A and B are shown apart, each in its own frame.
Chain A
Amino acid sequence: MAFEKDLNLDATELRLGLPGTSDESAKNQTPATLRSNNKRALPEESMSSNATASKNCDQETAPLPKAQVIGWPPIRSYRKNNLQPKKSEGEISGIYVKVSMDGAPYLRKIDLKVFKGYQELLKALEDMFKFKAGEYSEREGYNGSEFVPTYEDKDGDWMLVGDVPWEMFTNSCKKLRIMKGSEARGLGCVV
């Protein structure tokens, strides 16, 4: 939207006090108290005037990216007060673990909570580091690739990804490492 290009730094400055209580011009009031700028003669005009106005609502609650107009969106205050955001609703916050790959210059971090199982995790790792993990089997580990996904568990041991049930894995995984080449052979990988 057009108004996002308008870097109104004053508006995003953290300040105590209600919008309109500083030394700004009348133009910078919130839409709820705005009078003359309510006319919607031209869409662009009204959008930008409402935009600068609404940007200044951010003074009260600076972190919010969007404007806060009093009473908008029109949701019952009971609902607003009682709807807990997804993140904290019964679910624990994300499980972020470091991922390293042998030979890569820097590590990455991923949130294990977003994956539903090993398939999704491996796909994400493959995309992130541009490799192929090969076929997993309980007997032989990862077949057909020189890359093997491993993880360090709570005991400090390096384990092959995929052996234990997913929930158990996410609870015990401390960090991930994609091993490559000869070192990987020791984990039952047949090259």
Chain B
Amino acid sequence: MNYFPDEVLEHVFDFITSHKDRNSVSLVCKSWYKIERCSRQRVFIGNCYSISPERLIARFPGLKSLTLKGKPHFADFNLVPHDWGGFVYPWIKALAKSRIGLEELRLKRMVVSDESLELLSKSFVNFKSLVLVSCEGFTTDGLAAIAANCRFLRELDLQENEVDDHRGHWLSCFPESCTSLISLNFACLRGEVNLGALERLVSRSPNLKSLRLNRAVPLDTLQKLLMRAPQLVDLGIGSYVHDPFSEVYNKLKIAIQRCKSIRSLSGFLEVAPHCMSAIYPICGNLTFLNLSYAPGLHGNKLMKLIQHCRKLQRLWILDCIGDKGLGVVALTCKELQELRVFPSDPFGAGNAAVTEEGLVLVSAGCPKLNSLLYFCQQMTNAALITVAKNCPNFIRFRLCILDPIKPDPVTNQPLDEGFGAIVQSCKGLKRLSLSGLLTDQVFLYIGMYAEQLEMLSIAFAADSDKGMLYVLNGCKKLRKLEIRDCPFGDAALLEDVGKYETMRSLWMSSCEVTLGGCKSVAEKMPSLNVEIIDECEQMEFNLVDKQKVDKMYLYRTLVGHRKDAPEYVLIL
């Protein structure tokens, strides 16, 4: 099989960058496996419990970049207790002991302690990039260690983490010699930052392309930063509150106009909406606009801003934009590919919400739309059918009707037909989230048509086990299935346990599966970890097989039961 020397194959493999493709390459034959594993630099691990750090290190000695995901997706919505797991420390400890020259670490939904960050900062001389998304467990002290010790740091990107802000001087910990920063995102920090240190840091970072500030950075600092970094491509504004007649505002206008490279804009964590005109000069070049944390921006001011953004490809917005505002988006943003509409009032009814009308308008006006996250008051089958016709290119379609079991308000029917139209029309659909009143029928459609579906989220839907069976039997490429509050029981769970080995994970909470059913899966499939999360510790007193299980999370793994599970997690 080997017609070329190893170096040639290695060179060829260099061109193969996607994880999937590299994994396929490694399966061809032993020598390809060997060459691939020695030359692999980037590894993605979708479930940190599917493999151990030791085995990772053994297989990929040339590892430079590691991506790890910890908790299951539903942890985002408080369905997983805090100390369930997903600790990064054992990974960093193992990597530190090895010869791995780690340069990049990207973590999602993991527990990251200050101790981990400190160890990370001291163990890898060439460490360049730290990206933390939806993580928790660390404070600004940990960030100080990264700043102080990573001499060649290029990227520190903190996205939506819960950070204990000690208001320390972590920014001042970047030494004077650190001039390599390309990306700095601390928008999720709640505390004060040393503004002088920030200004000096930006001044000595000529390669800085991405800067996202937190709420504590006022406008006059923003203006100074922009003057020093006109080369920015991605800007996250912290506070945007000021007097439109002030000197600072005039200076800001001048500074912004110099920033001709900005393509991505976010933040506005505090905003005075009457001063948006300063932003207009850069709107025409924006490809990404994220106003989802700026509820102060709505109505006419918001629409005027959007009207300037003709090149927008991705828009993240709050539902106070209203259907009318989405109409403006439809008219203006012809290049739009991704739209996310978040609820501005997560706990209430939301007066300024969007309905099916807004979505229909966008689908009609933006033919390139392929990714949607839409929180709305209501949806109709007719609207979904229209959207499916207008936009057959959806890859991600996530619809969340705020009332989880609401039928089509016009016909009072379930939304089966509407979602059915989506899966039938969008042949490339990879991710789908359903809501509203739904029967088994919609799952029949999904099983029949959603051939490329990889991730499915279901809540408060279906009538019987048939629903789940349609999906498990039909969706050949399914990797992640997460279900809550559906009447799926043991019959569905046990129909084809082999299927779960082809998937990354299955989550079922508040369904009808019993302890006995889960035990059965665990017995038949030793390659799966079947976890019962039992916070109320009902199981302790009642280990009866027919007891219904509140939360079950099962996932394939090569390393058996994990040792770090808390007491209330029972691994079968």
**Which of B325-333, B354-362, B444-452, B459-467 is found at the contact surface with chain A?**
B459-467
Kindly identify, within residues 462 to 495 of chain B, every residue whose CB is under 8 Å from any CB belonging to chain A: 462-464, 484-487
Are B510 and A75 closer than 8 Å at their CB atoms? no
Are A83 and B160 closer than 8 Å at their CB atoms? no
Kindly identify, within residues 340 to 376 of chain B, every residue whose CB is under 8 Å from any CB belonging to chain A: 342-349, 375
Are A77 and B463 closer than 8 Å at their CB atoms? no
- Asked, given contacts A33-B510, A39-B463, whether A73 binds B402 with beta carbons under 8 Å apart, the answer is yes
Give which listed residue, A41, A73, A89, contacts B271 with CB less than 8 A.
Answer: A89
Are B344 and A83 closer than 8 Å at their CB atoms? yes
Give which listed residue, A33, A40, A72, contacts B77 with CB less than 8 A.
Answer: A72
Query: Does B320 lie at the interface of the complex (its beta carbon under 8 Å from any beta carbon of A)?
Result: yes
Please report the C-alpha to C-alpha distance between residue A78 and residue B484 in the assembled complex, in whole angstroms.
Answer: 21
| Most chain B CB neighbours (cut-off 10 Å) among A69, A76, A84, A89 | A89
- Chain B's closest residue to A91 (CB) is B296
Are B548 and A85 closer than 8 Å at their CB atoms? no
A residues near B463, Cβ cutoff 8 Å = 39-41
Query: Does A82 lie at the interface of the complex (its beta carbon under 8 Å from any beta carbon of B)?
Result: yes
Please report the C-alpha to C-alpha distance between residue A69 and residue B241 in the assembled complex, in whole angstroms.
Answer: 35
Are B348 and A69 closer than 8 Å at their CB atoms? no
Give which listed residue, B296, B433, B511, contacts A38 with CB less than 8 A.
Answer: B511
Are A73 and B343 closer than 8 Å at their CB atoms? yes
Are B79 and A70 closer than 8 Å at their CB atoms? yes
Please report the C-alpha to C-alpha distance between residue A70 and residue B407 in the assembled complex, in whole angstroms.
Answer: 21
Query: Does B305 lie at the interface of the complex (its beta carbon under 8 Å from any beta carbon of A)?
Result: no
Chain A nearest CB, measured from B175 CB (Å): 31
A residues near B318, Cβ cutoff 8 Å = 83
Please report the C-alpha to C-alpha distance between residue A65 and residue B437 in the assembled complex, in whole angstroms.
Answer: 21
Query: Does A15 lie at the interface of the complex (its beta carbon under 8 Å from any beta carbon of B)?
Result: no
B residues near A75, Cβ cutoff 8 Å = 77, 342-343, 346, 375
Are B77 and A38 closer than 8 Å at their CB atoms? no
A residues near B550, Cβ cutoff 8 Å = 33
B392-415 Cβ-contact flags toward A at 8 Å (1 or 0)? 000000001011110100001010
Please report the C-alpha to C-alpha distance between residue A142 and residue B481 in the assembled complex, in whole angstroms.
Answer: 68
Kindly identify, within residues 62 to 107 of chain A, every residue whose CB is under 8 Å from any CB belonging to chain B: 64-66, 68-86, 89-91
Chain B residues bordering chain A, tally (CB within 8 A):
58
Are A89 and B76 closer than 8 Å at their CB atoms? no
Chain A nearest CB, measured from B355 CB (Å): 15
- Asked, given contacts A40-B405, A40-B487, whether A78 binds B188 with beta carbons under 8 Å apart, the answer is yes
Give which listed residue, B295, B349, B459, contacts A74 with CB less than 8 A.
Answer: B459
Query: Does B141 lie at the interface of the complex (its beta carbon under 8 Å from any beta carbon of A)?
Result: no
Query: Does B270 lie at the interface of the complex (its beta carbon under 8 Å from any beta carbon of A)?
Result: yes
Please report the C-alpha to C-alpha distance between residue A46 and residue B439 in the assembled complex, in whole angstroms.
Answer: 12
Please report the C-alpha to C-alpha distance between residue A74 and residue B548 in the assembled complex, in whole angstroms.
Answer: 24
Are B270 and A89 closer than 8 Å at their CB atoms? yes
| Most chain B CB neighbours (cut-off 10 Å) among A33, A65, A74, A75 | A74
Query: Does B13 lie at the interface of the complex (its beta carbon under 8 Å from any beta carbon of A)?
Result: no
- Asked, given contacts A78-B162, A79-B342, whether A86 binds B349 with beta carbons under 8 Å apart, the answer is no
Query: Does B60 lie at the interface of the complex (its beta carbon under 8 Å from any beta carbon of A)?
Result: no
- Chain A's closest residue to B550 (CB) is A33
Query: Does B298 lie at the interface of the complex (its beta carbon under 8 Å from any beta carbon of A)?
Result: yes
Are A76 and B134 closer than 8 Å at their CB atoms? yes
Give which listed residue, A32, A47, A80, A90, contacts B296 with CB less than 8 A.
Answer: A90
Query: Does B33 lie at the interface of the complex (its beta carbon under 8 Å from any beta carbon of A)?
Result: no
B residues near A70, Cβ cutoff 8 Å = 78-79
Query: Does B323 lie at the interface of the complex (its beta carbon under 8 Å from any beta carbon of A)?
Result: no
B284-314 Cβ-contact flags toward A at 8 Å (1 or 0)? 0000000011111010000000000000000
Query: Does B565 lie at the interface of the complex (its beta carbon under 8 Å from any beta carbon of A)?
Result: no
Query: Does A31 lie at the interface of the complex (its beta carbon under 8 Å from any beta carbon of B)?
Result: yes
Query: Does B234 lie at the interface of the complex (its beta carbon under 8 Å from any beta carbon of A)?
Result: no
Give which listed residue, A47, A77, A86, A91, contacts B76 with CB less than 8 A.
Answer: A77
Please report the C-alpha to C-alpha distance between residue A183 and residue B512 in the assembled complex, in whole angstroms.
Answer: 77
Query: Does A35 lie at the interface of the complex (its beta carbon under 8 Å from any beta carbon of B)?
Result: yes
Chain A nearest CB, measured from B353 CB (Å): 11
Are A80 and B414 closer than 8 Å at their CB atoms? no
Please report the C-alpha to C-alpha distance between residue A146 and residue B295 in the assembled complex, in whole angstroms.
Answer: 42
Are A72 and B293 closer than 8 Å at their CB atoms? no
Chain B nearest CB, measured from A132 CB (Å): 26
Give which listed residue, A47, A65, A77, A90, contacts B405 with CB less than 8 A.
Answer: A47
A6-34 Cβ-contact flags toward B at 8 Å (1 or 0)? 00000000000000000000000001111
Kindly identify, within residues 419 to 461 of chain B, every residue whose CB is under 8 Å from any CB belonging to chain A: 433, 437, 439, 457, 459-461
Known: A38-B512, A40-B437. 14 other contacts (CB 8 A): A33-B510, A35-B510, A38-B510, A40-B463, A66-B349, A71-B484, A73-B346, A77-B78, A78-B160, A78-B161, A79-B342, A85-B295, A89-B271, A89-B295
Report which B residues bind A (CB closer than 8 A). Answer: 74, 76-79, 134, 160-162, 188, 241, 270-272, 292-296, 298, 318, 320, 342-349, 375, 400, 402-405, 407, 412, 414, 433, 437, 439, 457, 459-464, 484-487, 510-512, 548, 550
Could you write out 22 A-B pairs with CB less than 8 Å apart? A31-B485, A38-B486, A38-B510, A38-B511, A38-B512, A40-B487, A41-B463, A50-B405, A50-B460, A65-B348, A66-B403, A69-B404, A74-B400, A74-B457, A76-B77, A78-B160, A78-B161, A81-B162, A82-B188, A83-B295, A89-B270, A90-B241
8 smallest CB-CB distances across A and B, nearest first, come from A71-B77, A78-B160, A89-B296, A86-B295, A76-B76, A71-B79, A39-B487, A90-B270
